[in-house]
Amino acid sequence: MRIVLVGPPGAGKGTQATRLAGKLSIPHISTGDLFRANISRQTELGKLAKVSMDAGNLVPDELTIAMAKDRMRQPDAEDGFLLDGFPRNVSQAEALDELLNTEGIKLDAVLDLEVPGGEVIKRIAGRRICRSRSAHVFHVSYSPPKKQGVCDVCGGELYQRDDDSEETVRKRLEVYHTQTEPIIEYYQTQGLAVTIPSLGPVDEVTRRALEALERREDDGE
């Protein structure tokens, strides 16, 4: 299957992408991994992307698209893939359609992980990370440490990352709503978008997603 996974920050995209890709035996292709791999291998695309990232800018669409194109043409993606973090806007979605049409293939589904904005803020702003190299993660509500501010594993100090602050999370949500969320409507017009409630246990969210994909296959979509 060829799937795009969409959702706001804190929706659990990374977790669900890994689980779904494993169960469907397709590669999980994330933009973060693409950037890191190209930069690590010092490809021409990676060098260009690093210039943008070092300057604090977003990687230009054309570079992201080129990296995704190269990755989707690898042998392990021949029978399918799960895209996570790409496309990030309508322009990228249109470019993806053009690429897939050129290859004579099409998307099977676009899974939209739905989570209320208040829950996003709670999930991300409540994270606390150990300052030790192990960087164990806790949550003030969902998985609190036994002693406030202290890592259960190594006794290190727990802290909140700057990009996990409530103010920053609200800004990230605003960017998502203005730039990425419009692709859901874009794919709805193609009959590809499927909304998956992402509240609840991780296993339950995975089950909902797999059942939605199975229904699409049964319906012949």
Q: What is the pLDDT of residues 67-113, one digit of tens each?
A: 998 999 999 999 999 999 899 999 999 999 999 999 899 999 999 99
Q: What is the pLDDT of residue 152?
A: 94
The distance in angstroms from the start CA to the end CA of the chain is: 12
pLDDT tens for 161-170 read 888 899 988 9
Burial of 109 (0-12, 13-18, 19+ CB in 10 A): buried
Q: Is 123 annotated as a binding residue?
A: no
To the query of whether residue 19 is one of the catalytic residues in this protein, the response is no
Q: Is 168 annotated as a binding residue?
A: no
> Would you kindly state where each structural domain of the chain is located, as residue ranges?
2-116+166-219
Quick one: how far is CA 188 from the chain centroid? 19
To the query of whether residue 71 is one of the catalytic residues in this protein, the response is no
Cα–Cα dist 208/113, whole Å: 10
Q: Is 170 annotated as a binding residue?
A: no
Cα–Cα dist 221/142, whole Å: 38
**Sign of the alpha-carbon torsion through 153, 164, 124, 92:** negative
Query: Among residues 88, 122, 128, 208, which one is catalytic?
Result: 88
Q: Identify the CATH number of the domain defined by range 2-116+166-219.
A: 3.40.50.300
To the query of whether residue 127 is one of the catalytic residues in this protein, the response is yes
